[in-house]
Every structure is written in C-alpha cells, then in structure tokens.
Chains A and B, each alone.
Chain A
Amino acid sequence: MDLYEWLLVFHVTGAFLMLGGGTVAATLNLAAARRDRKPSEVVLLFGLIRIAVVALTIGAILAFVFGLWLVHQAPFNYSYTEGWVIAAIILLIVSSVMGAVGGRRDERTARFAQELAATNDEPSAELLGRVRDPAALVLSYGSGVLLIAVLALMIWKPGA
C-alpha cells in the first residue's frame, strides 16, 4: 500500500466514526424521547451519548486532516479551490458547530434530568419537553444531515 492508500484508510475511518457516532447519538436520543422515560433513564441514555460524541470528534478530526492531505496527495490533480472541496470543508465545519451547540443544550437537559432523578424519579412533562426541544433536535439531526451531504460530495465530487 502506498501513502495515498494509507491516507484514504484514515480518511474513511474518520467518516465511519463520524457517521457511526451520529447513528449512535440519534438512536439513544430517540430512546430518551419516549413519553414514559424516567429522569434516571434519560440521565443514563444521555450519558451513553457522550461515548458517541468522542467517536464523532475523533472522526471529524481524522476526516478533515486526512481529507486535506488527500487533496494534495491524490494523483488526480485535485485542488483546494475546487467547489466540492470547499463545499465539503464548509459543511463539515457547519455540521461540527451545529452538533456542538445542540450537544450543549442536551448537556443542560441531562443536568436537569439528574436533578429530577435525585428528588422524584418519575416521568416529567417538563423534562420530556426539553428532550424533545425542537431547537436541539434541529441542531443535532441537522448536523447529521450535513454529514450525509458531505459523504455525497465525497462520492460524486461534482466538478472534479
């Protein structure tokens, strides 16, 4: 295997960690959003989402760094000024920011759930409202949709 193929392996590993981590976070978030969830259960499920966030963060760094290196190293005369490269970089940054902001809202929800669990561990309408907060959902799931768009750009490479 030459350098280009090794870079591709690390870049693809980053993509798997990002999209796989997003899948883990979305699945556990959906599980937490059921009407009958007790606060302690929300604490547990949101706590497990932190593992996905680690995978997402490592994946984003790998995909970004090795992706930029690949543009330089690939034997196909790619350029950093090509539309699909610029679009992918912008979408990855916007996705990361949206995910981080949505994640901060979820952290506050997890803290609220922890307080409720310590006093009265029964399903709470206010907690459910926070778990299903439309702004947090748009930020988190929107971040995932942008990652899928980046994957599409990597496959189709429009203009390349």
Chain B
Amino acid sequence: MLAALRPDSFDLPLFLHVFGATVLFGATGTIAIAGYASRRSPDNSALLARVVAGTWLVGILPSFILMWAAAEWILDKEFPDNADTPGWVSVGFIVSEPGALLLIALGILAWFSVRKGRVLLAVPILASIYLLALAVAWFAMSGTP
C-alpha cells in the first residue's frame, strides 16, 4: 500500500533499500549454497571457503550497508523526530540489528574457514538462519500486517 501512496521523494531510498536487500539475500544464499556444497565436495573445500569469504566481503558487507542506510533514510522521511513506528518497521529493526551481529559472526567464521581450508559447518547454518530472517522481513514489509 505504501508503495502506491508514498511521496515521490521516497522512491530513491526505497529503490536502494529493496535493491540492497535483494543482493543481500542473494549473497547470503551464495554462502549457504557454497557452505553446504563443501560438505558434499571435500576435494573443493578450500575453493568454496574462498568463495564464501569473498562473497562476504564484496557481497554481504556492501549490500547490508546499502539496505540499512537506505532504510534509515526512509525512516527519517516517514517518521521524523522519533515518531511512533508501526510493527512492520520493528520487524525490520529486529532483522537488521541482531542480524548485523549474526553477519559479523558469519564473516569471522568465513575468515577462519579460509585459514582452515574448509567451510566450517556453522557458516551455512548461520546463513540459512539469516535467509529465513530476511524472508520474515520482506513478508512484514510487503504485507505490512
């Protein structure tokens, strides 16, 4: 509903927010896929560990920053001066703030994975949890229940 009724000045931050979120979803999916694949393909574990770490650095990090900064930009416009925010905005905060800690943990584990030459099992598990959290966020934001 918001997408149709919002002022034009919301369009750019909303585009950047959704674009960042979709790339973040894809980058997290890449880490999950590579992590689970490394369990089935131990010969290529070192390669997949490097793919995981590289994806975290050039995919997760910039897309999370883009998604988060654009969300703050929209919030400043829509709910200025700390106005009361609806429940679906709170869902976004729950995913982005504790989610950031989870992504930092994912990055540290990805770095350890490269050093060990194999993807640690926690990496695809954490990535899967974050994928689910992102799905909850886009459900809350598009359905605005």
Question: A158 to chain B: closest CB distance in Å?
Answer: 10
Q: Are A23 and B26 in contact (CB under 8 A)?
A: yes
Task: Give the complex CA separation of A48 and B37 in angstroms.
Answer: 8
Q: Within 8 Å CB of A94, what residues of B?
A: none
Q: Within 8 Å CB of A23, what residues of B?
A: 22-23, 25-27, 29-30, 59
Q: Is A86 an interface residue (CB 8 A)?
A: no
The interface size of chain A toward B, counting residues with CB under 8 Å, comes to 38
Q: Are B26 and A20 in contact (CB under 8 A)?
A: yes
Q: Is A135 an interface residue (CB 8 A)?
A: no
Q: Within 8 Å CB of A8, what residues of B?
A: 3, 142-143
Neighbour of B138 across the interface among A6, A13, A152, A155, CB < 8 A:
A13
Task: Give the complex CA separation of A146 and B14 in angstroms.
Answer: 18
Measured CB to CB, the nearest residue on chain B to A4 is B1
Q: Are B15 and A155 in contact (CB under 8 A)?
A: yes
Within 8 A of B (CB), among A1-32: 1, 4-6, 8-9, 11-13, 15-16, 19-24, 27-28, 31
Q: Are A12 and B138 in contact (CB under 8 A)?
A: yes
Number of residue pairs A-B, CB distance < 8 angstroms: 104
Task: Spell out A's residues near B (CB within 8 Å).
Answer: 1, 4-6, 8-9, 11-13, 15-16, 19-24, 27-28, 31, 40-41, 44-45, 48, 51-52, 55, 74, 76, 148, 151-152, 154-157, 160
Q: Are A44 and B29 in contact (CB under 8 A)?
A: no
Measured CB to CB, the nearest residue on chain A to B47 is A41
Residue of B19, B33, B139 with most chain A CB atoms under a 10 A cut-off: B33
Q: Are B37 and A44 in contact (CB under 8 A)?
A: yes
Measured CB to CB, the nearest residue on chain A to B10 is A155
Q: Are A12 and B26 in contact (CB under 8 A)?
A: no
Given contacts A27-B30, A156-B11, contact A20 B25 (CB under 8 A): yes
Task: Give the complex CA separation of A148 and B23 in angstroms.
Answer: 11
The interface size of chain B toward A, counting residues with CB under 8 Å, comes to 37
Q: Is B144 an interface residue (CB 8 A)?
A: yes
Q: Within 8 Å CB of A20, what residues of B?
A: 22-23, 25-26, 29
Question: B50 to chain A: closest CB distance in Å?
Answer: 8
Return 11 A-B CB contacts under 8 Å, by A number. A5-B145, A9-B139, A12-B141, A16-B22, A21-B26, A23-B25, A23-B27, A27-B26, A40-B43, A155-B14, A156-B15
Q: Is B54 an interface residue (CB 8 A)?
A: yes
Q: Within 8 Å CB of A74, what residues of B?
A: 4
Q: Is B41 an interface residue (CB 8 A)?
A: yes
Task: Give the complex CA separation of A14 and B23 in angstroms.
Answer: 14
Question: A52 to chain B: closest CB distance in Å?
Answer: 8
Q: Are B33 and A48 in contact (CB under 8 A)?
A: yes
Question: A7 to chain B: closest CB distance in Å?
Answer: 10
Extra pairs beyond A41-B47, A76-B4 (15, CB < 8 Å): A5-B145, A16-B134, A19-B26, A20-B22, A22-B26, A23-B26, A27-B27, A27-B51, A27-B55, A31-B51, A44-B37, A48-B33, A48-B37, A154-B3, A156-B15
